Structure 1
Amino acid sequence: MTDHEADAALERATDEALALFADDRVPGAAARRGRARGRRPAEGYNPFAEDPFADAATPPAPARAAASPAGDTPGSEDHPATGPVEPPGSGTGHGAEHAPGRRAEEAEHAAPRAVPAGRHRHTGSAWPAARTVAARAADPLDPRVRPLDDCLGHTLAAPLKALTDLPPFDTSAMDGWAVSGPGPWRLPGAGPAAVRAEDEAGEPDAGGTDVPDAPGILAGHAPSAALHDGEAIRIATGARIPSGATAVLRSEHGTVRPQGELHAGRHLVQGQDIRPRGQECRSGDELLSAGTPVTPAVLGLAAATGYDELRVVPRPRVEVLVLGDELLREGLPHDGRIRDALGPMLGPWLTALGAEVTATRRLGDDAPALRAALEASDADVVLTTGGTAAGPVDHVHPTLLRLGAELLVDGVAVRPGHPMLLARLAPDRYLVGLPGNPLAAVAGLLTLAAPLLRALAAGPVAEPPRAALTEAVPGHPDDTRLVPVVREDSGWVRPLRFHGPAMLRGLAAADALAVVPPGGADRGTRAELLLLPRRSGAAGGMV
């Protein structure tokens, strides 16, 4: 199938979906159904000119963001503007999403409050408010003292202060000679033997080959004696500078002449190529603040300044429970069953977000097994996939009710991923419920799990990056949209096709999810970005 045929098929499917879900009370619904049953709409028809999600009393909202004309944006023909919003029910793996029309609950959207799990009602928190609730839901885990080898990926629980000067003594920055005073300089052991060695070897070459002299001072060895004015001694990079030395002459800049005299090939200044004691830090200096993630570089700095162990906030422990009888672990889809895409994906993604994944378990649609797994888990966070809506096999809400859990977020006004949830199982244990469709699940992961994990790990909160959109992105009238985008060489981001709630193709090629506010975004709008662990593979500074 060519790109043109694929686009035509996608547009026909869009029209049919709009016709199926449009209410007869919405002006133009019948006409849309007629168009969906007939041939492809005429060129220029805009299915978003009328709002299929509007309430009966609310006039249709005009489309805020129309697709850019062909050729207006590089690559617009191969990658047209992001397509229509998903109809109700498209963002969940089990059952249909709850219909919109939440204008009567706008106060709850702006200020969501925790409700017992038994009072099951998707309050549909606004996307920014849901993120805030997740970020404030938990206190950091208790700090622990760990050996350096076990600190990678954790967070500093206290400022990292230098235990020594760095470097702890004057050191040579280059291989060469430590010299004292102006040249030329006498080398130790120079005399007739050195001259005979030079005669046998021939004249020194232009690169500064010298006659043999004493091995000098090596890294890890203390100087044997002080240098006096006019003296020089061989020295290696990192070796301690002897007392009396005024500079280091690099090997390539010096030549040893007859009688063992060292001459400089260029001007030498006081202190040249010497790293003075305390150049990088002094003992007691604060090097890094509490809350800094422990990276390989942090481990190196801690070791250099004298640490054998660190006080850190540990990585949150997460257990993943994959729900759904329709999921296969291997092979091709068959007999109404499909491959499990979330099990292989979520573990590495959680690791990139700074979590320690303790297990990934597949339970199917089994309410007793789900309850038993939640009661037995000792993880800080349990992550479930699927079962968060209100279908016949959606067991998450009833199970939370039986366990006496507290719902902190019950549904979010975002597409895809509306039926995501956040619950407190116990004072220090949480559950994040993700929809079952892959892109919807990732939307839930970045909306609720990422800020919760950052809070538990006492991680830093950074201002989210932004980038301009290469083309307009249509919006939902009430809900935020999360759209896969790829970064262009210009620094702008281009929306990708294949952004349906069950799709992974767009996500796999994306650098980030662009946050599109209700109503859509015009070309050139600087959209907030949720970075994906595509290139760096690390939390926070992804991509």
Structure 2
Amino acid sequence: MNGPRERGRPGGADAADRALDDAVALANGPATARPGSRQPSTDPLVVALGHEPAGAGPAQARTRARQRPDAVAWPEARRLARRVGRRLDPRALPLGEDLLGMALARSLTALTDLPSFDSSAMDGWAVAGSGPWRLKGQVLAGQQRSADALLGGHAVRIATGAVLPPGTTAVLRSEHGSTQLRTDGEWLHVLASHSAPRAGQEIRRKGQECRGGEELLPAGAVVTPAVLGLAAAAGYDELTVTMRPRVEILVLGDELLDQGPPRAGRVRDALGPMLPSWLRGLGAEVTSVRRLVDDAGTLHAAVAASTADLVVTTGGTASGPVDHVHPVLAQLGATLLVDGVAVRPGHPMLLAQLPAGGLLAGLPGNPLAAVSGVLTLVDPVLRTLAGRPAPAPYAAPLTANVPGHPVDTRLVPVVFDDESAARPLHFTGPAMLRGLAAADGMAVIPPGGARAGQETAVLDTGALAPAWGSGA
């Protein structure tokens, strides 16, 4: 299955963040453009999506504010979430698997030329001049002693990766040549079925991949297995990375079961099994996952004692009789940064600054609504803390009409077809995970809905990232 079209980003991390958020700000605009309300051509949304979107602007934001004064607009909530945190401290750590998923705290620069010497790209013979060539000795990879210079008409057997003798003009592959022992020595010939090697053929030149001091990867690049290999090849023994944000997950609810099918008015806990690996895929170190009963004192003690960079709670963010998150935050003296977001599902989500300096993201208890909270608040917070850049925005046309909320953004699971169009999935209620489990991403649906063929932003959920994180 093909993925969506990926648009380029303007230079600079802040510009990239604005491009992403402006791309998904399609959710702020009506389905049809107003006369005379065209965006300037330098608008980041135009840069990100490659076309002029339907009219959107401050008037729509003011309308929503009047209708829902408690709810932060969805793109603004993402911006706030990204800006409240501070990148965690860098640390130099030994090169190894423990670095996977962390972000480079500084750019990776070449310590020397790569390759650092001229070498053979193939097993065969290093030759000088035109053949036939008189053979003289061999050169192996890792050989400490420098090989003697080759004179014209001479050759030496050579292994892949071995240093080329001075005077080498090309390397003849072992399968392209044959040797003949004569009274005047051993001679090398090119097989009749092959042509003579061109000058420079099968030679890895010094500095072919990079020159010393050249940037190999920018700061913020996520360490993957390939990055470990590149760093090792470049001569690094350790890398300076931003530490993983420490996250504690508190799953709230007396109605939750740990095992067996739902029964007797109780439901299985879906978020306890789902969120830890999801957040690890976003670069977090999940220090603990705890189930708490619906009790204000228990929640107060757990949050007050936490030393995590981010506490994530599930459930208890609305105004029901056992929804204790708001009262507990007030008792702790926390500062509410986001209290409700104009998005469906997931409106009753929140973000707060705790007195000790950590952050708390309160997610709704319904599973799909909680995922909406992860994409809206948790993902941007973790990216800032971990020093990871925002991914480039995706844009894709919808294959079908999608109804919208009158004033709120909708996040709808979609799959991409062979033409990179987004097909909306069913089973998208706040408590449903069936649609999400089959999804390639979450489409951003503007207030009022979107029509088939209309291009919209699609969020990569990050759910398919390996445990060490993908960065996408």
Normalised-by-shorter TM-score class: 0.7 to 0.9
Provide the rounded CA distance (Å) in 2 between the counterparts of 1:497 and 1:540: 27
Q: CA deviation at 1:401?
A: 0.6
Q: Which residue of structure 1 aligns with residue 223 of structure 2? A: 294
Structure 1 residues 313, 107: CA separation in 2 closer, same or farther (over 3 Å shift)?
farther
Q: Which residue of structure 1 aligns with residue 151 of structure 2? A: 228
Structure 1 residues 163, 172: CA separation in 2 closer, same or farther (over 3 Å shift)?
same
Structure 1 residues 496, 105: CA separation in 2 closer, same or farther (over 3 Å shift)?
closer
Within a 5 Å distance, the mapping from 1:84-483 to structure 2 comes to: 106=65, 123-149=70-96, 150-188=98-136, 216-222=138-144, 223-259=146-182, 260-265=186-191, 266-426=195-355, 428-483=357-412
Provide the rounded CA distance (Å) in 2 between the counterparts of 1:340 and 1:249: 65
Q: Which residue of structure 1 aligns with residue 428 of structure 2? A: 499
Within a 5 Å distance, the mapping from 1:7-86 to structure 2 comes to: none
Kept after mapping to 2: 8 A contact 1:422/1:433: yes
Provide the rounded CA distance (Å) in 1 between the counterparts of 2:396 and 2:87: 31
Provide the rounded CA distance (Å) in 2 between the counterparts of 1:528 and 1:398: 36
Q: CA deviation at 1:536?
A: 4.7
Higher strand share: 2
Give the aligned residue type for 1:133: L
Q: CA deviation at 1:108?
A: 10
Give the aligned residue type for 2:141: A
Q: Which entry has the higher C-alpha Rg, 1 or 2? A: 1
Provide the rounded CA distance (Å) in 1 between the counterparts of 2:181 and 2:160: 26
Provide the rounded CA distance (Å) in 1 between the counterparts of 2:383 and 2:244: 9
Structure 1 residues 365, 263: CA separation in 2 closer, same or farther (over 3 Å shift)?
same
What TM-score comes out, normalization by structure 2 length? 0.82
CA RMSD across the alignment? 2.1
Q: Which residue of structure 1 aligns with residue 457 of structure 2? A: 528
What TM-score comes out, normalization by structure 1 length? 0.72
Q: CA deviation at 1:296?
A: 1.6
| CA distances 1:487-521 after superposition (whole Å, capped 9, x unpaired) | 11111010011000000000000111101011111
| CA distances 1:395-445 after superposition (whole Å, capped 9, x unpaired) | 111110111101000000111000000001136310011000000000000
Kept after mapping to 1: 8 A contact 2:282/2:471: no
Which sections of structure 1, spanning at least 5 residues, go unmatched?
1-62, 66-101, 110-121, 189-213
Give the aligned residue type for 1:424: Q
Kept after mapping to 2: 8 A contact 1:108/1:123: no
Kept after mapping to 2: 8 A contact 1:152/1:294: yes
Please state whether the residue corresponding to 1:393 is helix, strand or coil. Answer: coil
Taking only the aligned residue pairs, the percentage that are identical comes to: 61
Which sections of structure 2, spanning at least 5 residues, go unmatched?
1-29, 33-60
Please state whether the residue corresponding to 2:240 is helix, strand or coil. Answer: strand
Kept after mapping to 2: 8 A contact 1:127/1:480: yes
Q: CA deviation at 1:234?
A: 1.5
Structure 1 window deviating more from structure 2 (262-271 vs 428-437): it is 262-271
Structure 1 residues 104, 529: CA separation in 2 closer, same or farther (over 3 Å shift)?
closer
Structure 1 residues 229, 107: CA separation in 2 closer, same or farther (over 3 Å shift)?
farther
Kept after mapping to 2: 8 A contact 1:105/1:123: no
Structure 1 residues 522, 319: CA separation in 2 closer, same or farther (over 3 Å shift)?
same
Q: CA deviation at 1:375?
A: 1.6
Give the aligned residue type for 1:421: L
Provide the rounded CA distance (Å) in 2 between the counterparts of 1:489 and 1:342: 32
Provide the rounded CA distance (Å) in 2 between the counterparts of 1:518 and 1:235: 68
Q: CA deviation at 1:176?
A: 0.8
Please state whether the residue corresponding to 2:337 is helix, strand or coil. Answer: strand
Aligned residues: 406
